[in-house]
Structure formats: structure tokens, C-alpha cells
Chain A
Amino acid sequence: MRSVRRGSYFFVLAAASLACLCVTNPSRVAAQGGEPQYFAIRGATVVPVSGPKLENVTVIISRGIISAVAKDAAIPDEAWVIDGNGLTVYPGLIDSFTDVGIPATTPPSGEGGGAGAGGARQQGPISQGPEDRPGAMPWRTAANEASLSDKRVETWRSTGFTTVISAPKGGMFPGQAAILDLQGERNGDMVVKAPVAIPVSLQPVGNFNSFPGSLMGAIAYVRQVWLDTDWWSKAESIYEKNSRGIEHPRYERTDAALAEALGEHAMVLVPANTSREIRRSFNLAENWRMHLAENLRPNVVLYGGQMSYEVAEEIAAKKLSVLVNLKWPEAEKDGDPDEIPSLNTLRFRDRAPTSPAALAKAGAKFAFYSDAITAPKDIVKAVKKSIDAGLAPDAALRALTLSAAEIFGVADRLGSVEKGKIANLVVTDGDVFNEKTKIKYVFVDGRRFEVRESEKSKEAPKSDLSGKWKMTYTTPEGDEESTADITMASDGSLSGSITSSRGTANIISGNLTADKFTFTVNIDLEGSPTDVVFIGTFDGKTIKGTISVAGYNIEFTGTRPDSHSLAELHSVSGSGDAR
């Protein structure tokens, strides 16, 4: 992508197409970089979340900050004025626990042993106990790994998410989470605060040969790591005072990283989806409270929370906050149709979306996170499901904004439309939870992103375009190949990326209508953003069509060597990112 040569449109086009073929996102958001720093949304309806709804109000954005929210706010001369008539201004939405903004990568293996990523269970070195620190990489930080190259920065943003609490993935101590705003010229622009949380997983990373191979092993391991962190902190400071004739305490980077993050008041995110997991997390918190020095005592936040409908009052009584997983449990799509689930399983699937309402009723603080939801527009739909199950819309909006900011200690700068806060805003033409509502603009750190409507699929797609495509075409330089990693949503909208030897670019809009597809990537062509459009047909097995850029066209064809290896696909697109 960076090696675009002057004058060669073909070349650019090829690079772009190779780079980026994302087909899911129906709406397009284009950054208006280097443009106005001052905006005025005049006479709009404002839902500040921190207070009651305001009508006919002007919101002024000055250099990334909300500088006024008032009826009579003075509009600076240099402001770009948006007529707010018929528009509603919301705070930017927050996804409270995700890895959006952190491109997939092959994580380094844990200290001394253990499989690193969740998928690499059998491949890591054998771990012979907690001392080997299997699956522990808490020194990884979202702040360091945040990258604008993650295609989801754009797709999440265009559905109204301005902010994510993002953490690296993989293992039992995957790394430190940061609060990221979904915009920037450089990766570092994204980071609002770091570290904010240390996620812990109790999914054992070992097996019958490698510790931990059981849930109880995972729990024992986590406990031992905290005791060791506690010991290490003490031992180190004592040794500094009195080192003569004493063996120096062993440095352990897991413990050092944890101690440092805890010292910065990072929350500890503990998995707690079912009632017994939630109650187990109470025990863990209690154990920590009993056995650890005060400065290392984790401030526990639960994540999962889908069975909170059973234990919401206990959670509230413990004054714990919950990040509620919006990927509601449902029947396995490929499950055995003859296998009838247990009554408990059926009840769980039925009642999970009532959990937020139960938490609200009990007075427990909660926020939402997307977890395994891959199509961002399904996130708000999933929230809608909890509204249908009894959650007040105001409470739902709060969970998506101010509550999240409060849980992570940044309500001073995020989560509501208030003077002085970061200008993260979603401007819509109606109620944010109404399916027909369109997002007009998204402001992140005061930068304006316009959400362009893409053409809706008029006909249901005939087949699934998702997969890893190998595309071939001929540029003026000769034959070329690229890989397109495409995900098709249920309505035919397309997302993904295109990777070639030149780099990776993201699909910003696209859809499949019957057997006709179109998708667009946007590349930088001699300093100005230029659309590259792919149009063609899909016969169920292969694709062919035309790539158009700046008036030039080239033919291309594509095949899907392995239509089912979506997991592999994911890693390929990740490693292709220029980082």
C-alpha cells in the first residue's frame, strides 16, 4: 500500500484491491482528516445520559472537546455548522470488553511454558505447574498493540461505537486493557487511558499433560500467581533494605507486570457468566481480599453476567459491577437436531436477555460488551433484545455509555454529552434503539465521520460469500494474486480485508444481492482518498468481475481454496496487517 507509484492508477488499484476486501458493512464512514476542528450542531435534540433529554440545543465541539451544550451557545466563527433539526445527539457508544483495535497476531508464548493463545492448546511447551506461568502474558498491553490497521476500528465506529475497552486475547492472563477511541492519525492517538484492566480467563490452557488441565487447576493457578505477585512485591522491597547474605528474590515478569498494573489501579476482569461462575468469582474476590496486601488487592469486575437474572441481588450486595456479554446464548447452528437440550440450558437461553433488567432492578452497575459478535450492527440489536426483555431504554443507553465510563473510572472524560468531556458523539435521525434510525455522523475525539448509506440488498443473497478468496488479475506490471478475507452478514452486507504482497486494505462497504456483489475499498492515491470498487457475480463457487478505480477497469477472478477455514482466515488477515 505504501509503495504506490505516481501515475499508475492500475497499480494503485491493484494494491488496493489486494489490500482490502471487506464486504460486510452497509454504511461507510470516511474520515475528514485535516478538516475543521470546530463544529456546531445547532438546534438538535440532545440525550446527554448524565441528565434529562434536551430539546433544541446547540452542541459545540472545539478541538476534540465538547465546549458547550446549551440553547444559546455561541457558535465560533470557524465552526462547521450542522443543522440539528431532526437530529439527536448521543454520547458515543462504548464496547466495554473486546479486542477491537488490536489486530490479531501470533502472541508470544507465556513465560517458561504453556500454550499462548486459546487456539494453540497442544502446541506450547509443557507446563509443569503454576511456576511455569502457562498462558500468562500480562506484560502485553492494548496501549502498545492498538492499531488503526484493525478493520474493526472503522466498522465499529460506523455503528456508533466511539470507544472500546480493549485487551489482547489469548491465554489466562492475556494482557492489559486500555480505553481506546476509534480514530487517530497515529496508533497512539487512540489511547485514552492505559492500563485500565487486567482480564483473567479461567479457561485452562493446558491439557492432561500440561498444567493447568482443569478448571480447578486454572483457579489454583490464578490464586498462586496473585500470592506470588504479592510475595514478589514484598520480597523485592525488603531485599532493597537488607540484601547482605540473602539470596535475591527471583524476578518474574508476569508478577512484575501484574504488580505494576495493579499499582495503577487497573481493574481485574473475572469471568462470571453462569450463576455458579458468578458466585465463584465472589469467592475469588474474597480470597484476594483476605490474603493480599492492600495495594495488590484486585478491584474485581465481572464479565459474562448472562445468568445474572438468578443472582443480581447478590451481585448488587457485593457492590460488584458487571460487563454483560451481548452474545446471547442460543442453539448451536450446526448442532445435532436430534439432541434435545436440558431444561436448564433452555431456560438459560430464554432468560439470559433478562439479566440486564435484573441487574438494573437490583441496583448493580453494568455495561455491555460485544464478545463474539462479529458484525457490529448486531451489537445494538442484542441490546434491543434486553430492552424487549424488560430493560428500560434509558438504562440500556446508560450501560452503553456512562456506566461503562464509570466502571472504568473515566466518567470525568467519557460517557455523556457534557461540557468539557471528550467529543465522542453519535448523531442520529431518531431513537438509537429504533431499527430504522440512521446514524448521520459519528464524532470521535472531535473528528467528524460521516456515515454514508450504502445500497441495501434488494434480494437475499443466494449463497454465502464468506471465506478466504484467492483473486487473480493482470496489472500493467504483470499477473498478480491477492487474498480477500470476506465476511458476509445475514443481510448480504460484506466486510473484511484484502491482502497482497503490497499490504492490506479494508472493505468499507459492500453487499451481495442475489448473485451480484459489489464492494469498495478506499486507498490513498497521490494524497487523496480514492475509492476502488469491485463489481461482479458470484456463482456459488467462484467470483469474477471488474475492479474500477479512477476511471480504469481491470478484470479479476477469484476462487475459495478452503471455504470453511474461517479461523485460519482470521489469523491470515491479522498477520497481514502492516504493524
Chain B
Amino acid sequence: MTKRRGVPFTFIAICLPAASVLYAKAANRPAAAPEPAPVILIQNATILTVSHGTIEHGSLLIRDGKIAEVGANVKAPKDAQVIDAAGQFVMPGIIDCHSHIAIDGNVNEGSVSVSSMVNIADVLNPDDISIYRDLAGGVTVANVLHGSANAIGGQTVVIKLRWGQPASKLPFEGALPGIKFALGENPKRSNFSVPGQPKRYPATRMGVEETIRAAFVEARDYKAAWDSYNKRTAAGEKNLIPPRRDLKLEPLVEVLEGKRYVHAHCYREDEILMLLRVAKEFGFKVRTLQHVLEGYKVADEIAAAGVGASTFSDWWAYKVEAYEAIPYNAALMTRRGVVVSVNSDNAEEATHLNQEAAKSIRYGGLTHDEALKLVTINPAMQLGIDKRVGSIDAGKDADLVIYNHDPLSDYAVAQKTLIDGRVYFDRQRDIAERPAREKEKKDLLEKEKKAAAEKKAAGEAGKKAEEKKPEENKPEEKPKPPQAQILGGGR
């Protein structure tokens, strides 16, 4: 290492080769698996490990997509690509525990009060520009959730923000799938309706509880029916009609069996306690409470139940059930022993989760490391992926973000974001590529204009002679029902 240290490698020049491979592929939408991850050495950096403090002038070696070594002195092979991060900060990639990016079509299947048959994993949209923008904000992992229109919502998926890869390459390998629950105003329909159509059940908070209870009773029966069928078949009985497979109940059985995490949208202390009671009764665990703005009131109960809390830094009062929110929520719950994360619920918010985390230093007095944990190791624990990501330790995935300042500073701007040891965002590269993209866009627009003009000149355009409108069959189009956005109620 000493050999290289002090050599005036410029940041851009050195990492360009690595990045250019990746970017070229991203542009062409690679079908096959990406090239093997390069061996990369990040040196001279302030490394915020989250798990074991800060290493000044530290180095970090990446091999096979994993963090091979981290410390003050790291030996790197000769062929390693070097990123000189002098004056810069390296932290684990940010994990957003509540996201709605990369979804094709409506984020809610709002028509039914139990929509567990739908699965976000079926409709991942790898082309959503929000993936790239969130990468540019240092996010490497997102818990992509169904909306909150139903007491029991759709199945959810944890993704890595591998921009440029097809949908099948986004899911976080081995991460347990989840399911969205929602309590309070959004799942009950006293506030919304579609004109001319009856309101959907439930209309009250009591009804929300009953809906969840009824669904799990049904799921229990369903499981029992299958168990009985399998047992009788195994015992040699013939000609039994199997139970009908029910895609709505199967994920609920998985919840009962501990094979699927429950992420429950909630606000008020009463509904939080309600869900914890229902979960206890049916023998499943709530993995995270989402939003949980009144969590500070029942932090001890949440901690005792071993449930994670994923909240906003300081959003409040956007509706009555959010009036009691305070920006101290994250800090207070942390102090009572709850594993707390700060999430975005919003593609834009996700681009500065580092700053959202920092707010808990001002409001509640968390330490620098505690604040960082809110968007790294804590959400990793909540999603059951903390053995793989969330801190900078040898053996973990090389999901990293390099900032030009301390990430908890207002001046911090992400310079590079790596996932599995590959550079997926590079600020300099992005800036350098902008003129080319602009030019391509301009050229294509010109080409279209020219073609239209030629068509007209050929006497075919006949401006007024419009043909009948295409009627349908454009799979691209996804008409949104009226009010879907409002009713969608992300929060």
C-alpha cells in the first residue's frame, strides 16, 4: 500500500475504467449476469464502519463483491482498481425500510380489505428512474412495500438498487419476503369513496382489527385443511379432493409459520397495542411497525414485543392521526431499547436519508453512530439482512457510499455508490455523461420531427385526416383509477 500511497491518482481517472464497464452495460440493459466484480481498493478514507467506530485514513478492499478487508493498513493486489478517497467518507449503503419505488402500476390493490394475493415482486420496474436517484442519495437497499389501503395489503420485497439490471436481479437474495399491514385511517373507508359505489368494509378501527382477525382465522383453517389433506394422502387414502389453492391465504400461512415478515403501517398508540395483541393471539410476530409516530408513547411495549420501529424523522400533522408526532420519536424509542430506523416512504425523501438520520442528533441527542445506525444496521436488522449489509465489516456485501463530507452534514453529497462491489452511481461520471444524453435526446427529437415533416411533405400527413384512435391493447398504458393517489395514502 505504501507504494501507492501519495501517488497523485485522481479520483475520476482511476475509477473510470471500472465505472465505464458498468455504465455501458446499464445503457444496454444487460440480459446476462454482469461481469465479475472487480477488485477495488478504497484508500485514504474516513471509514464509518457503524459496527466498530470510525477509521481515519483507512482502507477498504473489495473482492468478489464483498468487503475483504478493512482497516488502517490493507494490503491490496497489484491489479486492484484504486479509489483514492482522501478527505472523503465511506459508510455502509443506506437502507430504506419503507419505499414505494420501482413499482409498475398502482402501488395499492385497494379494492379489497385483504389484498395479500398481490405481490410487489411481480411488478418490479427496473426502469424506474427513482432507483437511480435514490442511488445518487446513497441508498443501496429498499424495502419495497405495497400501499396502505388495506388492513392486510400485498406481499413486499427487499431489493438492491442494481440500476440497469432486469427486475429478476433486483431482489435481495435470501431476504425474507414481507407483507404490508395497515391500521387506522387508510384501511378504513370512512373517509374515502368512489362516487356511486358502496364503501368497502371496514369503516372503523374496530373493523380493521376484525378484518385482520378474520383473515388469520381463515388462514389457520386453510392450513389445517392442507395439513389434513397431506396427512390423509400420506396415509394412503385415495381420491381425496385437495383443498383449493388460495393465493390470498398462502402468504398469511407463511406469516403464521414465521416465513414472512409483517410490516405494519400504524400511527396511534391504541392501534399499535391492538396489533401486538392480535399477533400474540395468533402466534405470529410483527417484524416492523411503520411510521409508528406515537411509538414513543408505547416504546416499552414495542421493545418488549421485540418489534422494530421504522419512522419518519420529523413529518407530522399531515392528518389527524399524525398530530401527536414529535421529532424525538426515533431517539426516545432508541433509548427505550427499540431497534429504530428512519425511512423515506417517498422517492425524493430517500435521496437524503443521511440528513433525516442526522435530525435525531438535534432532536433527542443520539450520538453520531446511533444516528447512522438509523439508516444502516438498524433497518438491516429489521429486514433480517444484517449479516449481509448495514455495516462495514469484512465478509459483508460491499454495499457502500462515499460522501465528500461527513454524511450527517448538510453539505454531504454522495460521490459514488457501490453495490456488491460494483459502482452503480458515480457523480463525476454522471456529470460527464450528461451532454451525451442530452445530445441523444435532441437528436431523437429532431429525427422524429424530420420524419413527421417528410411524411407531411409526401402528402400523406393530411393533418386533418386523423385516423380512428387506437382503442386499447397498449400494454404500456396503465390507466389509474380516479383518486388513486389520494386514496393510495402512502402515509
Q: Which residues of A contact B (CB under 8 A)?
A: 118-119, 121-122, 126-130, 169, 201-204, 206-217, 219-221, 223-224, 227-228, 231, 234-235, 238-239, 241-242, 246, 249, 271-277, 279-280, 283, 291, 304, 310-311, 313-314, 325, 327, 329-331, 333, 340, 342-344, 346-347, 349-350, 371-372, 374-375, 378, 460-464, 466, 487-492, 566-567, 570
Contact = CB atoms under 8 A, between A and B. Distances in A.
A343 B105 contact: no
Given A209-B200, A283-B122, A492 B239 contact: no
20 contacts: A203-B475, A203-B478, A213-B110, A216-B154, A217-B115, A220-B118, A235-B244, A276-B124, A277-B476, A279-B166, A280-B167, A329-B476, A344-B127, A347-B440, A349-B448, A487-B468, A489-B465, A489-B467, A490-B460, A490-B462
B148 to A, nearest CB: 13
Contacts of A325: 473
A28 B137 CA distance: 63
A126 to B, nearest CB: 6
Contacts of B466: 333, 464, 466
A216 B105 contact: yes
B109 A276 contact: no
A124 B395 CA distance: 56
Given A219-B122, A220-B109, A238-B239, 9 more contacts: A127-B111, A129-B248, A202-B475, A207-B111, A216-B118, A227-B245, A273-B474, A346-B448, A350-B444
Nearest to B245: A227
A276 B462 contact: no
B220 to A, nearest CB: 19
Given A215-B478, A310-B29, A333-B466, A343 B471 contact: no
A128 B111 contact: yes
Interface residues of B, number: 79
B104 interface: yes
B119 to A, nearest CB: 6
A231 B245 contact: yes
A314 B167 CA distance: 14
Contacts of B471: 118-119, 169, 372, 567, 570
A291 B356 CA distance: 45
B104 A276 contact: yes
Contacts of A234: 241-242
B118 A217 contact: yes
B459 A208 contact: no
B288 interface: no
Contacts of A487: 467-468
Contact of B447 (A272, A275, A350): A350
Given A463-B464, A492-B462, A272 B126 contact: no
B111 A209 contact: yes
Interface in B95-139: 104-112, 115, 117-120, 122-127, 129
Nearest to B126: A276
A210 B127 CA distance: 28
A314 B33 CA distance: 12
B444 A347 contact: yes
A238 B472 contact: no
Contacts of B248: 129
Interface of B: 28-29, 31, 104-112, 115, 117-120, 122-127, 129, 146, 149, 154, 166-168, 193-194, 196-198, 200, 238-242, 244-248, 437, 440-441, 444-445, 447-448, 452, 459-462, 464-479, 481-484, 487
Given A466-B465, A491-B462, A210 B122 contact: no
B241 A213 contact: no
Contacts of A310: 28-29, 31
B185 to A, nearest CB: 15
A66 B106 CA distance: 53
A204 B115 CA distance: 15
Nearest to B192: A208
B109 A214 contact: yes
B117 A130 contact: yes
A464 B461 CA distance: 12
Contacts of B474: 273, 372
B483 A208 contact: yes
A517 B72 CA distance: 87
A381 B358 CA distance: 60
A166 to B, nearest CB: 14
Contacts of A203: 472, 475, 477-479
B102 to A, nearest CB: 10
A276 B31 CA distance: 11
B110 A208 contact: yes
Given A209-B200, A333-B466, A128 B112 contact: yes
Contacts of A130: 117, 247
A327 B108 contact: no
A206 B470 contact: no
A364 to B, nearest CB: 13
A310 B104 CA distance: 19
A211 B162 CA distance: 32
Contacts of B129: 342
Given A129-B112, A210-B111, A217-B111, A271 B475 contact: yes
- Listed from nearest, the 7 A-B pairs whose CB atoms lie closest are A372-B470, A215-B105, A207-B481, A214-B106, A242-B239, A217-B109, A346-B444
B166 A214 contact: no
B470 A327 contact: yes
A119 to B, nearest CB: 8
A204 to B, nearest CB: 7
Contacts of A340: 441, 445
Contacts of A304: 475
B368 to A, nearest CB: 39
Contacts of B244: 227-228, 231, 235
A437 B157 CA distance: 56
